[in-house]
Structure 1
Amino acid sequence: MTRRRVLRGAVALVAVAASVLLLGSTATPTPTPPPVADDPADPIRAAEYWLDGAGIREAWQTTRGEGVTIAVIDTGIGKVPQVFGEAVVGGTDVSGAGTPDGRTPLGAVDGNHGSWVASLAAGRGKPDGTGMIGVAPEADLLSVSVGFGAAAAVPFTEQVAKGIRWAVDHGADIINLSFTTNTLDWDESWDDAFLYAFEHDVVVVVAAGNRGSGTNIIGAPATIPGVLTVGGVDQTGTASIEASTQGITIGISAPSEGLLGVSADGEVVSWSGTSGAAPIVAGVAALIRSAHPDISANDVINRIIKTAMPVADAQKPRDPLYGFGLVDADAAISANIPTVSENPMGDLAEWVRLFRRADSAPTPEPTLAPVDIPPLPDADAPTEPGSPLLPSADSLRYGTLPLIALTVPGILVALGVTAAARRIRSARVPVRHNPDSEE
């Protein structure tokens, strides 16, 4: 099956027109669910250009994610009845600063981030077909609240490890991580946590990060073998300059510009970043698992990358900007894709075996044999000039050490958000800037 599709522009937000060309489709022998209440005249619903551009509305003819659970490990999912309603079936806080149910937004600036992410993955929309709807509107959600920086009483690496284990133990089929760090490496506690998820057949979807927020190349957890790392594209399907980044571990791309999200107070905002591209892919993974209840996590990932829409100028088979291509939800559900026995995104267990060997090299025992000590030179004896390529005592004291102190302050954590968040009130009312967001 060959597909070409252009991501459509958003009404009232993005003045980009496009078309959708379908060159073939293979239907799955599953009952067609009742149609989704969908009002195309609603400016909010019409602005969700990815619903058509990424084949999501077509996929809804087969499934909307029923029976699948997505864990959002983020700043907490707000209590917005019309958007999340009965969607959030459980939650916890691992930051030491939130509430036990994981539903209290954490962070004065980033508190809405978790709600934006969750609304893209599985927002319910309104019964009359208006308002924002997620990619998998019948999937369940778990809200695991984490704190970034001063918003937490627990070290960040510990929060993530604990959050992943909690999500797995409470029935997550998919875990979404919309944050990144400034380092390719990761804490060893993440080895065990991510392995725990993979061993329990959980798909882990991770945002690649954004140049607009300082991530010029992907960092952990997007570098961990086995995760599905998501890059970002604009409304035309072109790699985003600001709202994405690059790296050899990117597996798939999804829209990251001109996205919508529902804040913790119910306001709909426009925002950009791979933090939004990741939950779109997590929602697609939920649709796949719902349509194929017995499918493995490895096969979910394989379906997503094997059915990706190709990008004309991208490297084949995998591009550092696009990965394997642009996500296509309908094809990922309906195409005839052979099963795989291994995770196409890599084997974390093998990586750990090779690079974190359990048995360290034996420490040499101190020798008891006498050692001849050469006599010290006379104090007035001339000294040979040292090599200019080697550090002197002065350069170590006044150059190297202060530099290290300045350049290694610790691991920085960033949310995958760039551009301003703007409140959406009406298609006819000018968009008002959210004063809490960065310009």
Structure 2
Amino acid sequence: MTRATARFRRTASALVAMILAGGSMAAGLVAAPAAQADSWRDKEYWLAESGITKAWQVSKGAGVKVAVIDSGVDAAHPDLKGAVVGGYDVSGAGDPDGQKSIGGKPEHGTLVATMLAGRGHQPADAKASPSPNASSTGPDGIVGVAPEAQILSVSTWLGSANPAGKTDQDQIPEAVRWAVDNGAKVINISLGSTTPQWPQSWDAAFLYAEQKDVVIVAAAGNRVGGNIQVGAPATIPGVLTVAGLDRKGVASNDSSSQGISIGVAAPAENLLGGMPGGGYAEWAGTSGATPIVAGVAALIRSKWPDMSAEQVINRIVSTAKDTGAPGKDPLYGFGVLNAEAALKDPVPETAGNPLGSISEWIRVHRRGNLGSPAPVPTSELPSAVPTLPEATVPAAKAPSQRDSALGAAVVIGFAALFAAIIAAAVFQLRKAARNPRLAGEEPDTGVLNTVDSGGKAS
């Protein structure tokens, strides 16, 4: 066994340690009963500051299914009434419809879903029959970025030992494939790891999503959870990776990360979301920034149903407000999310996904020939776990350290280039945030540690 192979196997075996974003918030969530919901609506500052309320003049996400690959979504939450239209449990330890909160962070999926597609609710004393001209969202509770989008809840068991025995090596690719086969046009993945590498078992599923024209949005991770650099799956080429901002619109010290795969930045502190059982919570992290961006992708796909996934991503990143170092940088990516511009500005078509292509990465780094993965036959609510086909791209060898996935469909020829990029990122962060703690890059041990892509709770 070569050293590179052994290193990759250690990484793969440790993938079970990958947990849902928001690991530290369990100790500090600030929950409130549904009766106080109206006070939470007023705190959703990102709706106006990120241009979302003005983007609603164009679209609210109607007709678009968004898959939330997470810890399950409580469809009974009052702000999600009618929003969850299906789901599936890939862990083998939850309910078949994916709507049971499971795993190490059971509340996490509901927090994400309400931020993405919450519809609010009518107060208890509201009239039973609202007027025909009433808003599509209730006046109380959380309203999501795409309040007319539909949610597919794909539940995973991450963050603790899965009683069903399935690791994320099996769950993540199965979840992606199920989401694609069941009509998701956008996939939200608010989870991550502390290594840029991913197991080869994920290749075919992300290739399948790319070939089926699905937008995948993933969290960059947080320094407070150990992510000095972006970790997989946010490093996979073609994935729209989201960094986090503090309340002042600056790269967050704790609730963000850095890396060349970052595409756009969005609010990640002082966030609000719904809790299983009808409550609410304040939280922080790129796991909350991710559904903000995924919601904007849903608004775009609703407005232009025939627009390709690569053009949707291009529209989001090309209209972002350039922040930090001029041009694309490892703290903000292409810049800060501007939802109004993404929905209203004229944007020239791009020749390809500005964030790369997993098919090209596989061709170069796996050194195999591309094929077309066959669809996995699934019904809307399958009663058994779908059997995934083997990856159609044969592996020549396990990825070496030089071949680590960094979210770009280009060959990173020398480890020195990677080190130079990270060093520049650290310098920019220290300059922007004046944080002397980030004096250097943590070494990549090849072992996947526990990660908190959701940051700390308020």
Provide TM-score, normalisation by structure 2: 0.70
Secondary structure of the corresponding residue to residue 71 of structure 1: strand
Matched, 1:76 2:86: no
CA contact (8 A) 1:180 1:413 kept: no
Q: CA offset at residue 415 of structure 1?
A: 4.2
Alignment of structure 1 residues 261-272 onto 2, 5 Å: 261-272=273-284
Measure the CA separation in 1 of the matches of 2:51 and 2:301: 16
Matched, 1:145 2:155: yes
Q: CA offset at residue 420 of structure 1?
A: 2.2
Measure the CA separation in 2 of the matches of 1:320 and 1:131: 35
Change (3 A) 1:299 1:409: closer
The runs of 5 or more residues in structure 2 that have no matched partner are 1-36, 123-137, 369-393, 398-443
Change (3 A) 1:89 1:319: same
Measure the CA separation in 2 of the matches of 1:282 and 1:209: 16
Q: CA offset at residue 413 of structure 1?
A: 4.7
User: Which of 84, 102, 124 is 2:119 aligned to?
Assistant: 124
Deviations 1:88-127 (A, max 9, x none): 11100111111100011112x5100011011111011114
CA contact (8 A) 2:224 2:452 kept: no
User: Structure with the greater relative contact order (CA < 8 A, sep ≥ 6): 1 or 2?
Assistant: 2
Deviations 1:356-399 (A, max 9, x none): 0137779xxxxxxxxxxxxxxxxxxxxxxxxxxxxxxxxxxxxx
User: Which of 153, 157, 166 is 2:178 aligned to?
Assistant: 166
Measure the CA separation in 2 of the matches of 1:348 and 1:420: 34
Q: CA offset at residue 81 of structure 1?
A: 4.1
Matched, 1:417 2:428: no
Matched, 1:65 2:61: yes
Change (3 A) 1:170 1:316: same
Q: CA offset at residue 410 of structure 1?
A: 4.5
Measure the CA separation in 2 of the matches of 1:319 and 1:410: 27
Q: CA offset at residue 291 of structure 1?
A: 1.2
Q: Which amino acid aligns with 1:316?
A: P
Q: CA offset at residue 317 of structure 1?
A: 1.3
User: Which of 356, 359, 376 is 2:366 aligned to?
Assistant: 356
CA contact (8 A) 2:222 2:255 kept: yes
Q: Which amino acid aligns with 1:222?
A: A
Secondary structure of the corresponding residue to residue 207 of structure 2: helix
Measure the CA separation in 1 of the matches of 2:207 and 2:79: 33
Point out 4+ residue stretches in structure 1 off by more than 4 angstroms: 359-362, 407-410
Whose Rg is larger?
1
Secondary structure of the corresponding residue to residue 147 of structure 1: coil
Secondary structure of the corresponding residue to residue 352 of structure 1: helix
Measure the CA separation in 2 of the matches of 1:284 and 1:360: 36
Change (3 A) 1:342 1:102: same
Secondary structure of the corresponding residue to residue 58 of structure 1: helix
More deviation in 235-244 or 410-419?
Answer: 410-419
Q: Which amino acid aligns with 1:412?
A: N
Alignment of structure 1 residues 85-100 onto 2, 5 Å: 85-100=81-96
Q: CA offset at residue 316 of structure 1?
A: 2.4
More deviation in 271-280 or 286-295?
Answer: 286-295
User: Which of 226, 229, 245 is 1:233 aligned to?
Assistant: 245
**Aligned equivalent of 1:222:** 234
Provide TM-score, normalisation by structure 1: 0.73
Q: Which amino acid aligns with 1:297?
A: A
CA contact (8 A) 2:75 2:84 kept: no
Matched, 1:299 2:348: no
Q: CA offset at residue 193 of structure 1?
A: 0.5
**Aligned equivalent of 1:157:** 169
Measure the CA separation in 1 of the matches of 2:341 and 2:167: 41
Secondary structure of the corresponding residue to residue 47 of structure 1: coil
Alignment of structure 1 residues 256-295 onto 2, 5 Å: 256-295=268-307
Measure the CA separation in 2 of the matches of 1:271 and 1:231: 16
Identity %, equivalent residues: 50
**Aligned equivalent of 1:110:** 105
Secondary structure of the corresponding residue to residue 142 of structure 1: strand
Aligned CA-pair RMSD: 1.8
Measure the CA separation in 2 of the matches of 1:339 and 1:361: 35
The runs of 5 or more residues in structure 1 that have no matched partner are 1-40, 363-406, 422-439
